[in-house]
């Protein structure tokens, strides 16, 4: 990362009054003046979210060269860019597979699938793209917001649970799972599931995540492997 916060001092973008509501104008001004947004443009990242994954990896060392990586909810591609930078190997074909129902511009070193992860064909397509079990499953998926906080939370928690179930069914032993969640007190079952299947589970709030946001990340490290009862039926799909 080459951007510097010092470059942002003294620069303030103001959005002219017009048809925008005051709340929308305030959000846009905050976004345009966000130092991470400015750094992402300078560093060539497609979103400020790239720094969230970078900061988590700097602390927990979850990305390594040559890993097979799945990126769920990839658009616009910031996390995929970081995964390529830190995991892609010049001696191997692409081992990074990203998926989203929104279009993502090509990223050299990654296979991009234009598909909803909830589509029943998606899990197998991801595995086929990797040609092997992933070392890490990343999920920055979040449901489109409705404006009703409780509803939005429940929808995003459902995506977390689906992503976790996928990870548990496909990860290599020793692999990791990272997912976005929201603070809200309905994640007990998800936490219990992750603690059964991984050596350690961490709540992470990287510096690039806005302080006033309820966004939080769950990092499950050290997958223990699938128990016999989970894999005894060879015809079971990755999502059951």
143-178 confidence digits (pLDDT tens): 887 777 788 788 888 999 999 999 999 999 999 999
pTM, rounded to two decimals: 0.80
pLDDT, position 231: 42
Bond into 76 cis (ω within 30): yes
- Identify the pLDDT of residue 214: 80
Looking at residue 52, what is its pLDDT? 95
Instruction: Identify the bridge partners of residue 198 per DSSP, sorted by sequence position.
Output: 223
Name the helix (H) or strand (E) containing 69: strand 69-72
Query: What is the reported pLDDT for 17?
Result: 56
Catalytic residue, chosen from 16, 180, 205, 224, is 180
Helix (H, G, I), strand (E, B) or coil at 97: strand
Note the pLDDT of residue 43. 66
pLDDT value of position 143: 83
CA–CA gap between residue 59 and residue 52 (Å, rounded) = 11
Nearest-CA neighbor of 114 among 127, 126, 100, 128? Answer: 100
Whether 180 is catalytic is yes
Low-confidence ranges of the chain (pLDDT < 70): 1-44, 90-94, 184-186, 227-240
What's the distance, CA 82 to chain centroid?
11
Token pair of 201, please? 């589970």
- On whether 79 is known to bind a ligand per the annotation, the reply is yes
CA dist., res. 87 & res. 96, Å (int): 8
Pairing of strands 176-182, 136-139: parallel
Q: What's the pLDDT at 236?
A: 40
**Annotated binding-site residue? 27:** no
pLDDT score of 40:
59
DSSP bridge partners of 139: 72, 179
User: What totals of helices (H) and strands (E) does the chain contain, helices first?
Assistant: 8, 7
pLDDT at 12: 56
DSSP-derived letter for residue 16 is P
**Structural domain boundaries in the chain:** 16-45, 49-231
Binding site annotation covers 152? no
Which CATH architecture describes the domain 49-231?
A: 3-Layer(aba) Sandwich (3.40)
The answer to the question of whether 175 is labelled as a binding residue is no
Spatial neighbors of 98 by CB under 8 A, at least 6 apart, are 70, 71, 72, 74, 77, 79, 80, 83, 104, 107, 110, 111, 112, 113
């Amino acid at each position: 990362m080459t951007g510097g916060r010092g470059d942002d001092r003294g620069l303030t973008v103001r959005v002219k009054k017009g048809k925008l509501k005051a709340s929308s104008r305030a959000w846009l001004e905050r976004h345009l003046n966000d130092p991470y947004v400015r750094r992402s443009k300078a560093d060539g990242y497609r979103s400020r979210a790239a720094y969230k994954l970078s900061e988590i990896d700097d602390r927990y060392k979850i990305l390594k060269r040559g890993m097979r990586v799945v990126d769920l909810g990839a658009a616009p591609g910031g996390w995929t860019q970081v995964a390529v930078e830190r995991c892609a190997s010049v001696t191997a074909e692409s081992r990074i597979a990203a998926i989203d129902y929104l279009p993502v511009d090509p990223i050299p070193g990654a296979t991009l699938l234009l598909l909803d992860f909830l589509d029943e064909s998606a899990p197998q397509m991801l595995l086929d793209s990797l040609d092997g079990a992933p070392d890490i499953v990343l999920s920055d998926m979040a449901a489109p917001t409705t404006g009703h906080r409780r509803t939005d939370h429940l929808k995003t928690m459902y995506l977390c649970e689906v992503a976790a179930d996928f990870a548990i069914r496909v990860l290599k032993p020793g692999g990791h799972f990272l997912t976005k969640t929201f603070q809200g007190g309905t994640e007990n079952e998800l936490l219990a599931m992750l603690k059964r299947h991984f050596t350690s589970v961490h709540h992470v709030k990287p510096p690039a995540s806005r302080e006033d946001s309820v966004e939080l990340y769950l990092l499950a490290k050290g997958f223990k492997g699938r128990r016999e009862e989970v894999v005894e039926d060879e015809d079971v799909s990755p999502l059951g």
